[in-house]
Amino acid sequence: MKKARRTIIYSLLLIVPLTLCNVLYLEKVLASSSTDQAISLQTIIDQLDTGDSVELPPGTYTGPAIIDKKLSIRGNSKVTLLNQSRKPAISILSDGVHLQDIQIKHTASGDDSPAIQVKADQVILENLTIQTSGYGIMVRDADRGILQNNTIKWFKPEADMPKQKGNGIDLYNSHDTQIKNNKITGLRDAIYLEKSRNAWVQKNKLSHTRYGIHCMYIDGSSVIDNEGEYNITGAMVMGVKNVVVSGNSFRKQSQNVHSQGILLYDVQSSSITQNVVEGNRVGIYMEQSSKNLLSNNAVLRNFIGIQLLNSNHNQFRSNEFIANVIEAEATDSEKNEMTGNYWDSFQGLDLNDDGTSDIPYAINPFYQRLVSQTPAYQLFFQSPGMTFLSDMFTNGRDHWSKDPSPLMKSDIYHISSVESKKGSDDVLIIGLFLLCCAISIIIYLGVLRR
């Protein structure tokens, strides 16, 4: 018996390293064979003339490649471009280049290089699937580009810190660019726009990034119908004028201590309308911004609905604040015009039946002031005692931010993204079980016992 066991152990000791060696060897062979068969994309490009369009046959190609003439290159789901160098997988230096349907794997690690670098105007990139360990698409000094239906992911599966990653789509000094229907996940900033006027960012899906959309100095741009989830901040809009942020939904940005749905910093004369911010740490955060219009936004189930700091002369119209833990906080922001918003925790009184309350809704700044002086007191967030204390400090009420005509009823019924209907069956069963337990304890240990 003992002998048999020993034989098994010895044979195992022998087999395991052998199999490991085998696997490693096979992987090496496969890797070398795949690069052996792979064709350099640059040689194909070199054979083409300006204005040519080519459809790549299925297979694996290698980068880096530089496109310095107007070309149209199309792949399909079986065309893969591998790039292990520290240069961009594809650099586009000529105007009017059109790339589509290519899978790009840009794997040089510890590097800032992008999978695709664009330095020319009117470039179209569509249906590309990019896995990168640096940046995704980097656009520099290139106007009127179109980036659409692309998917950009972080290459390594493990969770790196956002600092170590690159941005998904990164624009600098590139005006009139259209960024539509892209899916970006796991990078630093999904879409980063800097010094780029009139950008059009529409219907992108952004998740697990630092900032879903990060805008700096992009006057006249539009951010429309985008969806963001599980980012640190959904949209960070900073230093802009005349921007439209509309129809976006930002949900579940609540994990980080700095999370927000929409962050507006130094935003002037812009319109923020019809957005849905749900389940974030702060729904809409606004600082040093003025002359903006915020209307018809739905602010749902956030820890703090809206937070205003040093922001004046903005208009807040017909927004809905529902089921937020604290719906609004405002300091040094009393000169805003708030009309007809719906605040669900507010009990109004409508004597003349016009649908709006005759009692104004006022935002108590006590808690926000307290924690800005001593951040340690954030431990008291919405503790019953804190609510009690805030309610006692009502002096200076005339200087609070106020909505003089809050709506009595919510207009729209918002369908929530959370699918927790299935949970109610579990609750029913647990509830029934608890109820039966309680009743039997009461009867057998209490009432019937002598």
DSSP labels for 297-316?
-EEES-SEEEEEES-BS-EE
Q: Does 148 bind other proteins (CB under 8 A)?
A: no
Binding residues for other proteins, rule CB under 8 A, total 64
The type of residue at 389 is L
Per-residue contact string for residues 321-340; x = within reach of other proteins by CB under 8 A: -xxxx-x-------------
Q: Alpha carbon of 80 to those of 46, 91, 103, 182: distances in Å? A: 19, 16, 5, 19
Number of Cβ within a 10 Å radius of residue 445: 9
* Pairwise CA distance, residues 191 & 211, whole Å: 8
Q: Does 16 bind other proteins (CB under 8 A)?
A: no
Measured from the CB atom, the residue of 215 and 326 that comes closer to other proteins is 326
Q: Does 433 bind other proteins (CB under 8 A)?
A: yes
Q: Does 161 bind other proteins (CB under 8 A)?
A: no
Contacts of other proteins in 23-42 (CB under 8 A): none
Q: Does 355 bind other proteins (CB under 8 A)?
A: no
Q: Does 257 bind other proteins (CB under 8 A)?
A: yes
Measured from the CB atom, the residue of 157 and 388 that comes closer to other proteins is 388
168 dihedral zone (left: phi>0; alpha: psi -120 to 50; beta): alpha
Write down the least CB distance from residue 159 to other proteins, Å.
Answer: 14
Number of Cβ within a 10 Å radius of residue 179: 30
Measured from the CB atom, the residue of 63 and 305 that comes closer to other proteins is 305
Find the part of the chain contacting other proteins (CB under 8 A) among 39-47, 235-243, 348-356, 428-436.
428-436
Number of Cβ within a 10 Å radius of residue 428: 10
Find the part of the chain contacting other proteins (CB under 8 A) among 98-106, 118-126, 318-326, 349-357.
318-326
Write down the least CB distance from residue 317 to other proteins, Å.
Answer: 22
* Pairwise CA distance, residues 416 & 422, whole Å: 14
DSSP labels for 367-395?
HHHHHHH-GGGGGGTT-HHHHHHHHH--T
List the one residue from 7, 22, 53, 387 that touches other proteins (CB under 8 A): 387
Find the part of the chain contacting other proteins (CB under 8 A) among 88-96, 175-183, 223-231, 427-435.
427-435
Q: Which of 199, 213, 192 is nearest to 114 (CA)?
A: 192
Q: Does 159 bind other proteins (CB under 8 A)?
A: no
Q: Does 437 bind other proteins (CB under 8 A)?
A: yes
Q: Alpha carbon of 377 to those of 29, 93, 326, 381, 395: distances in Å? A: 61, 55, 16, 8, 21
List the one residue from 17, 110, 157, 446 that touches other proteins (CB under 8 A): 446
Contacts of 322 (CB under 8 A, 6+ apart): 298, 299, 300, 301, 342, 344, 410, 414
List the one residue from 4, 379, 395, 398 that touches other proteins (CB under 8 A): 379
Angle at 259 between CA 257 and CA 260, to 5 degrees: 145
Q: Does 447 bind other proteins (CB under 8 A)?
A: yes
Contacts of other proteins in 273-302 (CB under 8 A): 279, 281, 301-302
Yes or no: say if 138 and 117 are a contact pair by the CB < 8 Å rule: yes
List the one residue from 32, 55, 381, 396 that touches other proteins (CB under 8 A): 381
Q: Does 415 bind other proteins (CB under 8 A)?
A: no
Q: Which of 145, 161, 157, 158 is nearest to 169 (CA)?
A: 145
Six token digits for residue 229: 């989830």
SS3 of residue 125 by DSSP:
strand
Measured from the CB atom, the residue of 36 and 419 that comes closer to other proteins is 419
Measured from the CB atom, the residue of 171 and 299 that comes closer to other proteins is 299
Q: Does 412 bind other proteins (CB under 8 A)?
A: no
Find the part of the chain contacting other proteins (CB under 8 A) among 14-22, 68-76, 101-109, 319-327.
319-327
Q: Which helix (H) or strand (E) holds 273?
A: strand 271-273
**Under the rule (CB under 8 A), what is the footprint of other proteins?**
254-259, 279, 281, 301-304, 322-325, 327, 344-345, 370-371, 374-389, 416, 418, 420-421, 423-439, 441-442, 445-447, 449
